[in-house]
Amino acid sequence: MAQVASQGGPNWLPVDPQAMPGVFYDEHSIQPVSERPPVMGVTVAWFYAQPRVSEANGQPYGSVTQPVTLNCSADTYTVTEVRHHAGNNATGAIVESLPVAGIRNAPVTRDPVQRRLRDLICPADGKSARK
């Protein structure tokens, strides 16, 4: 399995290298938010082959990270902010951090990244959180 890692930092693992190249999650960021209902937190990243430019401030960025909260029993997810990083692998300065509107308790079924994350990080038996 391909990994982009630095000691003590994030350990980026592919969400689904075939279906979603360039989309990763940080294995070290997986944390239980609550046991009942089972809710998990994780950081997701998109690594871009070509730099993009911020519409807000005109600065280039090479990757994006999002803290995601997954409600495993309700099959919903919430995203409250998006961070644009200067570097390609969620490295370098944060170019900007933007609030996200409208992604609160959104159905997991509508987003292939969130469906795959649910399979990867939600408790298998619904009783205890995976780490």
- 10-residue mean pLDDT profile of the chain (131 residues): values are 58 96 96 95 96 94 97 96 95 92 92 96 67 46
- Residue 67, judged by CB atoms within 10 A of its CB (0-12, 13-18, 19+), counts as middle
Number of independent structural domains in the chain: 1
Confirm whether 66 is domain-assigned.
yes
Question: What is the reported pTM?
Answer: 0.86
Range of the structural domain that residue 79 is part of: 12-121
Amino acid, single-letter form, for residue 67: P
Q: Is the separation of the CB atoms in 66 and 79 below 8 Å?
A: yes
Confirm whether 2 is domain-assigned.
no
What does the pLDDT read at residue 130? 46
Cβ of 85: how many Cβ atoms within 10 Å?
Answer: 20
Tell me the CATH number at 85.
2.40.128.710
